Each structure stands twice: as structure tokens, then as C-alpha cells.
A and B are shown apart, each in its own frame.
Chain A
Amino acid sequence: MYYLLQAVFIPLLLSPLAYYIGKRHGVNASTWFTFAIMLYSTLMLLLASLQGRYEEHYSWSQLGEFGLLLDGLSIPFALIIYILSTVLVLYSKPYMVHKIVEQYEHEHANSGGAPVKAVVEVPVEYINSNMGIYYALYLAFAMGMLGTVLATNLVQFYVFFELMLVPSFFLVALYGYGARRRIALMYLFWTHVGAVVLLIGLIAMGLAVGSFDMAAVNEAAIDEGLLPFIAGAIVIGLVVKLAIFPVHIWLPYAHAEAPTPISALLSPAMIGIGGYALARLVMQLLPSTYADISLWLNLGGLVTMIYGGAMALMQDDVKRVLAYSSISQMGYFLFGISSLSVIGSTGSVLLYVSHGTGKALLFMMAGMLIMQAGTRSLARLGGLAGKMPITAVTAMIGGLAIMGIPPTNGFMAEWMLFLGVLESAVSVEHGSLVRVVAFALAMAATVLTAAYILWMYKRIFYGSREGMEHVKEGSMYMAAPMMFLAVLTIVIGIYPDMFTSIIVPFMKALLGGGL
């Protein structure tokens, strides 16, 4: 049925059409057209995931096969990427129209050099064609992310990895905030450097085993002298993507200044792909090397977790709080995935899911504030709980997911994650005092996470603030996707079995026995 081929390529092939439909028939048409494409592709993906493990292979060049694989590791990632991409299409409509109009006004008011801000008439064609471009890039971005997590071939993986980078670069450069071109370049530069280092590792690995198919990679066949360099290059390439301390520098800029729906995709969905790749390329393909470096990754995760949380406390810009929070959350991810325990790794993958829904909700809240309250500075926000009840409730659910409080999926992810870390810390094989101390510090860091989320929430929604009297709830295009994600967050939190039943067997097969 070519489920996965459709899920990956239909958005890409139809993306130019989204542009033309937008240009010809307006914003509504392009929004719903894009939504339909994403919905269809998500359904294809869902149908394929229901089969548990599902593979498609197409013969390719000398580089091996072009394959698309859904298994216990890639299903959660793939589903979250497409679910978020689908609901954010609707959210984008009012938000991006607002943003494009604002940008036009800004540019045209400036070029005139008038001191008083003139009322600028924004041509409808301008909006339509820009929304078209936005959706075209959006589709390509979504497909790039999905392709990366489904790839079964090292070169194919790299191609998709770059493919998701390019459209996101354009999205930031064209529709971002602040010094958007400079920031987009910085984003492109950093992740590109990471990607190139990754590519070197991947090519070396492929040449060493004589095939670029992941299935053919056998750690034992790789020359021992070469192995550390291969693993090192891949890990370094990926931690840049994950934004692990101290190579996190690009993230706060890119995520804070990207147009908000794109932030909501970049932050939870895209950077986590670095974590996916770490599990797929290093943990699965080079298990014994991974075991050797796991302690260092564990500590890197711990430092990132605390550092990101501490920096989040220092921000005044809502989107920057969330950006640093994402850095911290990727620290959690790395902390769990390097535990070498089945339950800990399961927790990490589930954390991608919970961070996906939770952080997307919080970024959507930020977008709502930018549109409705006209600011994203915490110092100027306040007292909005009663004025924006839907936003307040859904943001609280998102915040609970990030803090790891039941009944959200964040709790399910975090207890498994931390239990796994503690399990290996007291185990005979990998146990060490360092890991025990790391666990204790990480548990303390969960309080830090709660602190920055609650403090941010308090400053946005509680108290009272001048200038916020007339703020109202935004359009249903924005509120409905938030409600959907909030419900999803809780449903997964109460019944995580839909994910654990596929992740746990995968991790058991990978890491062997035990829990």
C-alpha cells in the first residue's frame, strides 16, 4: 500500500501546489489544503504504525536500499512529528496572517521613514502568496523530519536530515522575529556544522562495513582503531542538534525568533530527532561503544538539565524561557537514554512524546500571547487567567507535562526515565557512585523545572497588570488545536500503554533482559 512512501512524499510533492493554491485562492484554501495533506499523511502513518513493526524497501543506487521503517523506536517519534505538524497547520492560519501583516506594515512604515506609524494597507495578494510560501516550506519541513526518523540507510538519513534543515532555515529567515536573517544563518550554520560532522561519521561507518544500510552495520566488523572516531563524530554531530551544553548556543535564538508555530515544531519535534538518531545510530548500531561513553552522556544530560533550567529562570521573554526549557528537557532525554536500562530508555522515548505535546502547548500559548496581548515580555504580562481561560488551562496542562506531574504523559515519561537511571546506578554492571549522585542531582533538578514553569505561569496568568484589561481569547483556529493537544497529553498520561507496548519490546531486544 506504500503507506510510508505516501506519508513522506505526498507533502513534498504537493508543497508547490500549496503555494499556487494559496496564491490563487487565498489563505483559507491553502490552509485547508495543507491540513488535508497532513491529515491524510498522518492517517497513512497511523495505519502503518498499527501493525507494530512495518517496513518498506525500495531498491536504490549503489548506496544500498531506500527504506522506510516503523518500529518500537521510530513510531513514537514519527507519530508525534506528524500529529504536531497537522494541528499546527490550523494554528498557523490566524497567527501567520497576523505576522505577515505586521511584517509588511513594519517594513513599509520604515522605508517611508515617517516618525508616526502610518496606517499601511496590506495587499491581499501579498498575504496570499506569503501564506502559500509558508505552507509550502512547512510541508517540506514536516516531511523532512518524518523522513529522518524513518530512514534505514545512512545516506538517506543524512539527506533527510539536511532536508528538514533547509526549509526551517527559510521559515526563520523569512518570517522570524528580530534579526531574523542573522539568526537563521546562525541556526543554519550551527546545525550544518553538526550535520557535516555527522556525515563524516556516517560515511566512515558505511565505508568501514561496506554498506550504507543500517541493517548491515555490525560493530564487530569495524576496525577498533576507527571506532572511537566514527562514534565520536556521530555523537558530536547529534549533540549539536540536541543542543546539549555547551553547544546549545543556537537554540535560544532560533527557537525564540522563529515564527511561533515553527517554534512549536522546532522545539519539541525537531531537536528531539537528535536524540532519536543517537538511539538509532549509536545505541542500536554501536552498542558496546555506546556503553563505554554512556556515563559521559549521562553527565552531559545532567549538566544540560540543570543549566537549561537555571537559564530559563533568568529570561524575561516567554519564548526564550521555553527555548531554554527545551535545552533542559533534552538534557532529561539524554540522561535517560544513556541509562542503558530498558525502562530508562523507554522513559526517554516517552519523554519525546510528552515534551512534544507539552512544549508545543506552551509555545502555542506564547503565540496566543503575542497575538492577543501584543507582548511576550513577562514583565508586561499578568492577570490573564480569567481573560484567556482556554489558553490558561491548556498551558497549565502543557506545563504539568513538562514538570512531570500526573495525570499528564510527562509523569509517565519521567518516572520511567528516572527509575531506569537509578536502576543502572545501583546495578552491578553499570553501577557507580557517580551515577547515584547524578540521579540525586537530577531529582533535585525536577524541582528547578517546576520552579521556572510555575514562575512563568504566575507572571503571565496571575496577579493583575495594567494594559492587560482588554485581552481576549484568540480564534478557535488557535484554541482548538491547543485543546486537542491538551486532551492527548492527558490520555497518553493515563494510558501510556499505547506507546510503551511498542517501545518496551524494542528496548528489551536492544538492551537485553530485565526491566
Chain B
Amino acid sequence: MTDLNMLISMIVLAVGAVEESADRFIHNPEFDALALNIWLVWVIPMIGAMLSPLFGRIGSRVRDTAPAAFSLASAVLASTLIPIALAGDEVHSQYTWIPDLGIRAGVIADTLSIIMSNLVAWISFLIMVYSIGYMKGDPNLVRYWFFMNFFIGSMQLIVLSDNLLMLFFGWEGVGLASYALIGFWYKDRVKDYVGRIGHHAWGIAQYTSPSHAGMKAFLMTRAGDAAMLAGMFLIFIHAGTFEYKLLLEDKAWADLMHSNGLLVPAAVLIFVGAIGKSAQFPLHEWLLEAMTGPTSVSALIHAATMVKAGVFLVARLGPLFFAVASNNVGLFFEVVTWVGAITAFMLASQAIVNKEIKKVLAYSTGSQIGYMLLALGIAGLSAEFINGYTAGLFHLASHAMFKASLFMAAGGILHIAESRFMDDMGGLRKHARRTYVFMLAGALSLAGAPIITSGFWSKDAIFASLLESHYIYAPALFWMAFLTAVMTAFYTIRMVGMVMFGEKSKHLQELEHHGHKLHDVGAIMWVPFGILAGLTIAIGVAGPFVEGQLHELFSRFLLNSYGVESHGEVAINPEAVASSVIAFGIGSGLGYIFYIRRAASPEVVARSAVAYAVYRFLENRWYVNSIYYWAFVIAPLFISRLAWRYFEVIVIDGINPAFQFAMAWWSKVVRYMQTGVVQTYIYAFAVGIIFVLLLVIAGSGA
């Protein structure tokens, strides 16, 4: 009976697909010539990486400029694909890979991948240029450039691949680059640590060395990846393919999996991979320690690109699940939504109290990615998939720009102030005017300053999609998002205030006293983040227009690639705008009072026991880090040690003496043989060979 139902539903789905395809775009064959470019976008940085040892041999100029040239070439090639996206078209190119398992290698350029690819390519290029200045004088630049280009290539592979297996190659490639670059200063000098030395919570150190941080990042994301592989396998077992297009073509697998009760579990398992990569709750703890890497790395990998891979994956697969089984995957979208909302709230609350400039930005990154996932999740729970989808991706793009800019500016500050703590800064706006201006632009965008910043419009779009969805818990989610926005504005202004305003700290005065002149960074550093800061303001000014364009592009994309229809235009939602403005007002107002005008001292919290307890709770990261160490490091090691001491050493090794009796006979034989003359062994050995040969020859004669 159920089989019959399934058959009917399959037929209905098949007919539906035919009807839809009638409205679809007509592929322009001229674009097929661009197929090679798609491959080159990710292959060229890989080649650049492989050649970097060679560049290192030639000379320091070539070593430092050639890698940037490779990333520029990749970016230019990515831009040649833009017309495809504007036409709403797509180009797909495939080659055989593992034919016996029906696996092909392929790349696809459609609206989503082209936008993402360009974003990655150009931001990467700017950061590569910035790196030339930022990393100047480091003795291990060949390794640095190798992993930077390797990272870019892997990231583009994630974006452009047309199947999950190849995506996973890029996925682990960026993870490897992240591991290697977090631990770039592998000698673990104390100045490269993150966290306040000596800060413990529940007996667990809250400060980390670079090599430890790298390992932590690798293992935490690996845990997510293991789940992701399990999800991919479930889909492959039922669909027989990893390719997105084939998964969309024949939807029978989704029905089969739904009837087995495996569809949502598979989707959620894949999403766990995204949680790990995008540092979302509960796998968010690695991102904070990842700040041990050079700041250029934090800007590229841990702000603008790699941590967005999880969002990208949801943007890639979310509509796919929605298209193949819209009524059966609601739970998946709920999980995405809640994970995003919780992370956004949790990490923003921790950013409020942190004293390290890079860690504030790192908390903020995790929190903002939570916003994006919240939007993508709510898309699947709304009547109009497109609204949340556009909002999430718009925020992704705008965050990539302003956060990369902020990180690069922070890197400049680190150079100037020679400390990672904001307590050691202060009053820097007079000494670093350009950094100040650009950092302010980026910070306003992060805080969501109304009308003129891209961050305002993209966050507003998320609010609007929440308000317009009919998900029953949408109001609760909205309040979480709203509070997050308040906190975001507060910690951002706090950061600017602590770094740029007020008196110069003791640390800075000492530096000046020792003849260190405080001066702004050079052009090779400020131009890249200046460009991004300018862009975020430009996009902000044209906010509604940009959003409208994206809306248009993505609704065509969803229809053409996934068959998901959408209706209506973007309209400004007054409630959303009002709440965005209010959130910014409250948060930045408080930040202004405490940290810029310094009308009140933030030390008021120490006076109230409750406020101080909250402060400790936030500073100790809600104790999540401590719980993880107890549960996943200390406990397993303890159990292993028990097994080692009392089982392996006593029981298993104890078997041997039991056999000593038996072995006594052997040892007699051997002692007899051990005449001390090696020749004896050789003779014995030769006799053995002759014996075997005789056996063979005699046998063959018989």
C-alpha cells in the first residue's frame, strides 16, 4: 500500500518537474566556452601553492609577490564568470574520476557559486596584498604563502564543485590550511598565545598556545566532518550519487529516505559538518583559539571565507532538500534556525566582556554567522523561501567585507600597539588616522548603523524575514536576534572606544618612552582594508537597491536550479527597520557612554554581586569550553590510562609469562643455535632456502 502511494507521489513529482522545466531558462551555448575558466579558478591558486617553494628560491621579491599574482589571476578568472550569473544561466563541466563507482569530477558555475566565488577571490586577493606588508620579515614565508594559496584553491573548490565528494576535498583542504596557519608560529612563544595567561575556569586553562589551538580546531571540525560524511553516505546509499544535479533530477531517493525515516537525520548530519566548519554552537569553541594565527589569516580564513563554508553548504543544500521534499524537511530547517539563533546570542554575549581585540572580532564572527544560518533556516519555514535566503546571503557578503576589513585594521593596531589586549591601547585615533577612519566604517557596519552601512541593510533583511515567517517560534527568535543586535552594537562601539578613544594606556606610554614611535601602517596594509571599508559604506548607501538586485538574481536562481518558485518583490518592512534602528541606538548608546565619552566606568559591574557573577559567566565562555575539556579530553584520557595500566600492562602483557613455559622449549632450541657466529645463521638460512627450492623442484617433477 505504501509502495503504491510512493509510486503515485513519484509520478506526480515527475509530472510536476516536466511542467516546471517548461518555464526554465534557455541555456546560452556561448557560455560553455567559460568551462575551462571555472576549473582554473581553483586550480591556479593550487599551482601557485605548489610553486611557492620555487619562488622562495628565486628571491624574496618573487617569493612575496608571485603568490598574490596567482590569487589575482584566479580572481580575474572568477570575474569572467559574472555574465553567466547575470543571465541567470549556468555552466556545468564534468570529467570521469572513479568510473567503477559512478563518480565524476565536475564544477558548476551558477548564480550562487559565481557570487560566492567572486567574493572569495577578491577578498583573498586583497588580503594577500595586505599580507605582503603584514608578514614582512617573518622567516617562514614560503610556508605561509603555500598555505594561503592552498587555502584559496580549496575554498574555491568548495564553492565551485558540483558534487559533495569533491566539495569534501576542498572542505578538508581549507581545514588543513586553517590548522597549519593557526599553528603558523609553531614554536609556541608566549607572545603568540591567546587568552589571558593564568585564566582558568573550572580547572581548565582558557589560554592557548598556537600549536594547541591548531590541534583543537582540527579535532573539533573533524568531529563535525565525521557526522557530515555519515550524512553524505546515507544520501549516496539511497541516491547512488553525490552530484547536486542528479539529486534534483530524480527525487525518488528522497521519498525512499523519508519512508525509512532517514531523510531528516541525513540532512542534519550534513549540517553538523557545517556547524563545525562555521564554528556554530555546539562546535564553536575552536574559533576563539584560532586567533593565534597571523591576523591576515584570521581575516581571510576565520572571518571572510572558510567559516562561511558552512553557510554556503546550507545555501547549496537547503533549497535542494526544500525542492525534493518540502513538506518533510521542516525539522531540518528548524535545527538550522535554532543553532543559528543560539550561536548568535551566545557568542555576542561573550564578546561584550572580552579584552582581546581579535577575540572580540572572533566572537562576533561566530555570532554573525549565526545570523546567516538563522536566515537560511527561516527560509525553509516560510511561505517565501526567497526572503530568508536572500537575507542570509546578503549578510554573508556584507559581513565578509566589513569583518575582513575590521580584522585587517586590527592587525594594523597590533603592529602599532604591540599587544593583543585592548587595555594596552587607547587614544590611538590621533596616531593612526587612516586605520581609525576605516575601522570606524567597518565597525559601524558591524554595529548596524542605520541607512549608510551594508550591515544595517543585511541585518534588517534578516529581521524582516523573521517577522514575515509564519513559524510559530518566530517571535522568540526575533527577540533573540534583536538582543543580539543590541549586544553587537555595544561590543563594537566598546572595541572602537577602547582602542581609539580615551587616554593612552601605560603600555603605550612605555613604548613611546622606549623610543617606539606610534605611527600608522603603510599603504600596502591600509589600502586593502580601506577598499573593503569603502565598499561596505557604498553598498550601505545603495542598500535597498542591492538587496533588490540580489533578490531578483536569487529568485531566478532558485527557480532555474531548484524549481523553487517565489513571488513578489522586496519591500522595506517598517517594523524591521524600526527595530534595527532601536537596537543600534540602545547598544551603541551604552557603548558611547562607557567607552567613548567615558561618562561612566564599566567597573560598575564589580559592585553588584549579580552583575559580577554574570560577568564571570560570560568571561568563562558560559563554561562550555571547560565542560568540553572535562568530557572530551580529560575523561577519555583518564579511561585510556586506566585501560593502559590495568588492562594492557597487567592482563595482556601478563599473558606472556603464562607462555614462558611453552617458550622455554623454544629458547633452548634457539640458545643452541646462538653460537655467536653469524655464519651459523646464514648456513641455517641457506639450508632453509635449499629446502624450499627442493620442495618446489621435486614437486614440479612429480
Contacts and interface: CB of A to CB of B under 8 A. Distances in A.
Interface in A398-413: 400, 403, 405-407, 411
A451 B233 contact: no
A5 B158 CA distance: 48
Nearest to B702: A61
B678 A130 contact: yes
Interface string A299-340: 000000001001101100000000000000000000000000
B692 interface: yes
A39 interface: no
A422 B183 contact: no
A415 B640 CA distance: 27
B698 A61 contact: yes
B236 interface: yes
B187 A447 contact: no
B101 A500 contact: yes
Contacts of A504: 100-101
Interface in A79-133: 129-130, 133
Which of A16, A454, A515 has the most B CB atoms < 10 Å from its CB?
A454
Contacts of B219: 447, 450-451, 454
B663 A186 contact: yes
A140 to B, nearest CB: 7
A497 B97 contact: yes
B656 A249 contact: yes
A463 B222 CA distance: 23
A125 to B, nearest CB: 12
B384 interface: no
Which of B102, B175, B226, B696 has the most chain A CB atoms inside 10 A of its CB?
B226
Contacts of A311: 640, 643-644, 648
Interface string B212-229: 100100110011001101
B186 A461 contact: yes
Interface residues of B, number: 71
Contact of A496 (B98, B173, B209, B218): B98
Given A129-B678, A446-B226, A463-B187, A343 B101 contact: yes
A45 B409 CA distance: 60
Q: Which among B173, B187, B233, B663 has the greatest number of chain A C-beta atoms within 10 A? A: B233
B202 interface: no
Interface stretch (B59-67, B460-468, B682-690): B682-690
Interface in A494-515: 495-497, 500-501, 504-505, 515
Nearest to A497: B98
Given A12-B689, A313-B637, A461-B186, A419 B236 contact: yes
A314 B640 contact: yes
Contacts of A515: 101-102, 240
Contacts of A378: none
A136 B678 CA distance: 13
B169 A406 contact: yes
B682 to A, nearest CB: 6
Classify the interface of chain B: helix, strand, loop or mixed. helix
A406 B227 contact: no
Nearest to A493: B169
Interface in B171-194: 172-173, 175-176, 183, 186-188
Given A60-B696, A422-B233, A447-B219, A462 B187 contact: yes
A415 B641 CA distance: 30
A220 B223 CA distance: 45
B168 interface: yes
Contacts of B210: 462
A103 to B, nearest CB: 12
Contacts of B183: 462
A174 B186 contact: no
Interface string B114-139: 00000000000000000000000000
Contacts of B102: 515
Contacts of A440: 230
B695 A419 contact: no
A437 B81 CA distance: 45
Contacts of B51: none
Contacts of A63: 699
Contacts of A307: 643
B222 A133 contact: no
Interface string B72-108: 0000000000000000000000000111111000000
Interface stretch (A163-171, A223-231, A271-279): A163-171
A406 B174 CA distance: 11
Contacts of A426: 234, 237, 260, 262
Contacts of B702: 60-62
A195 interface: no
Interface string A7-49: 0000010011001000000000000000000000000000000
Contacts of A166: 685, 688
A283 interface: no
A400 B176 contact: yes
A104 B466 CA distance: 78
A249 to B, nearest CB: 5
Nearest to B644: A314
B640 A170 contact: no
A66 B100 contact: no
B327 interface: no
A130 B681 CA distance: 12
Nearest to A15: B689
B21 interface: no
B643 A463 contact: no
B189 to A, nearest CB: 8
Contacts of A472: none
A94 to B, nearest CB: 21
Contact of A458 (B211, B237, B641, B648): B211
A407 to B, nearest CB: 6
Contacts of B670: 181, 185
Contacts of A60: 696, 699-700, 702
A246 B373 CA distance: 47
Given A63-B699, A170-B685, A314-B641, A458 B212 contact: yes
A200 B699 CA distance: 21
A363 interface: no
B573 interface: no
A429 to B, nearest CB: 13
Interface string A54-75: 0000111111001000000000
Interface in B637-686: 637, 639-641, 643-644, 648, 652-653, 655-656, 659, 662-663, 666-667, 670, 674, 678, 681-682, 685-686
B662 to A, nearest CB: 7
List the 5 closest pairs (A to B, CB-CB), nearest first.
A61-B699, A462-B211, A504-B100, A60-B699, A310-B640
26 contacts: A16-B686, A59-B700, A61-B698, A61-B699, A61-B702, A130-B678, A159-B692, A248-B652, A310-B639, A383-B187, A406-B168, A416-B101, A419-B236, A422-B234, A446-B222, A447-B226, A448-B636, A450-B222, A451-B219, A454-B215, A454-B218, A458-B211, A463-B209, A495-B97, A497-B98, A497-B100
Interface of B: 97-102, 140, 165, 168-169, 172-173, 175-176, 183, 186-188, 209-212, 215, 218-219, 222-223, 226-227, 229-230, 233-234, 236-237, 240, 260, 262, 636-637, 639-641, 643-644, 648, 652-653, 655-656, 659, 662-663, 666-667, 670, 674, 678, 681-682, 685-686, 688-689, 692, 695-696, 698-700, 702
Given A66-B699, A463-B211, 14 more contacts: A12-B692, A16-B689, A133-B682, A186-B656, A189-B663, A189-B666, A249-B652, A249-B653, A311-B644, A386-B187, A405-B172, A451-B219, A463-B187, A505-B100
Interface of A: 12, 15-16, 19, 58-63, 66, 129-130, 133, 136-137, 140, 159, 163, 166-167, 170, 174, 181, 185-186, 188-189, 246, 248-249, 307, 310-311, 313-314, 343, 383, 385-386, 400, 403, 405-407, 411, 415-416, 418-419, 422-423, 426, 439-440, 443-444, 446-448, 450-451, 454-455, 458, 461-464, 495-497, 500-501, 504-505, 515
